[in-house]
Amino acid sequence: MNKRNPQTFFVAPGGRLCGKLRVPGDKSISHRSIMLGALAEGTTEISGFLEGEDSLATLNAFRDMGVSIEGPYDGCVTVHGVGLRGLKAPAAPLYLGNSGTSMRLLAGLLAGQSFDVVMTGDESLSRRPMKRVADPLNQMGARIETGDKGTPPLRIHGGAQLKGMDYAMPMASAQVKSCLLLAGLYAEGRTCVTEPAPTRDHTERMLMGFGYPVECHGAKICVKGGGKLSATRIDVPADISSAAFFMVGAVIADDSDLTLEHVGINPTRIGVINILRLMGADIEIHHPCEAGGEPVADIRVRSSRLRGVDIPLDQVPLAIDEFPALFIAAACAEGETVLRGAEELRVKESDRIQVMADGLAALGIDARPTPDGMVIRGGRPTGGRIDSHGDHRIAMSFAMAALRASGPVMIDDCANVATSFPGFVELARNAGLGIVGDDHQP
C-alpha cells in the first residue's frame, strides 16, 4: 500500500465504452523478458514493455546486479545479457515494491548464484506468502530464509549446489512453477514440475524463444541444467489482465461497442473470455496472429445481458488475476454466480475475496465470501465508497462497476494502479468512463 501518495477515484454513474484502444503491455511477459534477456548471451531488444512499477522493479533489480539495460523509451528496452553466470552481487537488498511476481521468480534465479542477496518489498508484499517457493527451492539444495511468518524479506545464501527434482505442486501457481523451472537452469540434472491444473505458460514459451530446451509432457514440464540462453527480439502483447476491466465494462454498460487491440490470447490466460462468454457476453476475436511466440488478436466486446453461472473449476487458474473484474460482471448478471477453488485470491495484493465482497456489499450487492470463493447474487449496484486496500485490480474493477451503478462510486487508496496500468484514468476516460482522480469530482 502506498501511504505517501494516496489517491481516490471519483466515477460518475452510467456511460458507455466505445471505440478502439490498446491497453499497456503484458506484465507477466514484461517481467520474464527482462529476466531471460539479462541471463542470455547477446543483446535482447524488447518492444511493448509495460512501464509500470512492478515491471520496473524487475528491471531495476537486474541493473543492481550489474546488467546494462537501456530504456524503457516508449516501451522499448535493450538488455545487454551477461549469461547465466554473469550476475554480480548487489550492493544493497533488492527492493521489489509491490511485485510478488518479481520476488518469487527471482528467488528461483538467485537460488543458484554464487553470492548472497536479500529481497524486500513494500508493506503489501511483506505480508505475502513466500514459503511456497522457499520450501521446494530448499529441497533442491538452496539456502533460503523467509521472515518469521513465511513472508519477506527473503535471504538467499550463495554458493548452493542445486540438484534437479520432480515436484508435484500442491496447488496451481504459475509463479511457483516458473520459479522452480528457472532454478532448474542452475541445477544438476533434470528439474520437473507437475501442475494440478494448467497455469500460464509464458516462462516455458519464452525459454524456448531464447533457445533453451523445455520438455512438456501433459501436466509435467522439465528443464535440464547446464544450457544457455541466446538473445532474441520480444514483442510484448497488450495485457489481457488489463483488457479484462474494459471487457467487463463494455459488457455491462448499455450501448457499448469496444475493440481492444493486439491483446495476448495465450490459451493459459483466456479464462476471463471463456467465463464471460459462459455468462452470455458478446465477445468476438478478430485478426489472430502470433507475436514473439505468443498468440495475439483484437477483441471486440459489446453490451450483453449476463446470467449468473457456476464457474467451472478448470477455468479458475486461467482467470485467477481477472476475478476482481469478473466479480463486477457477476454483480450485474441475472441470478447467482458461484466461484469455488480460488483460495489463491486470499493471498494476492489483498485478500481479494473479502475485499471484493465488502466492496460489493457497499454497493448494495449480495456477495457472500467463502473460504475458496464467493457466491454473488446479481442486481443493480448503487453508488458508494470503496476501500481498495491498495490493490490495483480492486480499484480498477470498481471503477467499471460505476457504468451500471445508480449513483457515483468513490474508490480510496488507488495509487498502486500505476503498478500494473499506468495511464488507466486517461485511457478509461477517453473510452467513455466518467472517472477522475483527486483533483475534482466528475
Catalytic-residue membership of 254: no
Kind plus residue range of the DSSP H or E element containing 242: helix 240-252
Residue type, 208: M
| Distance, CA of 415 to CA of 1 (rounded, Å) | 8
Note whether 291 and 29 are within 8 A (CB): no
CA angle (220, 317, 412) in 5-degree steps: 145
Contact of 236 with 48, CB cutoff 8 Å:
yes
Give the list of residues 6+ apart from residue 14 with CB closer than 8 angstroms, or none.
Answer: 253, 402, 403, 405, 434
Contacts (Cβ under 8 Å, ≥6 apart) of 15: 253, 402, 403, 432, 433, 434
Do residues 122 and 1 touch, judged by C-beta distance below 8 A?
yes
CB 230 within 8 A of CB 263: no
CA distance 244 to 96: 25
Catalytic residue among 122, 321, 387, 391: 321
Q: How far apart are CA 40 and CA 174, in angstroms?
A: 22
Question: What is the rounded distance in angstroms from the CA atom of residue 244 to the CA atom of residue 276?
Answer: 10
CB 251 within 8 A of CB 276: yes
Q: What is the spatial distance between Cα 69 and Cα 231, in angstroms, rounded to a whole number?
A: 13
Q: Residues with catalytic annotation? A: 321
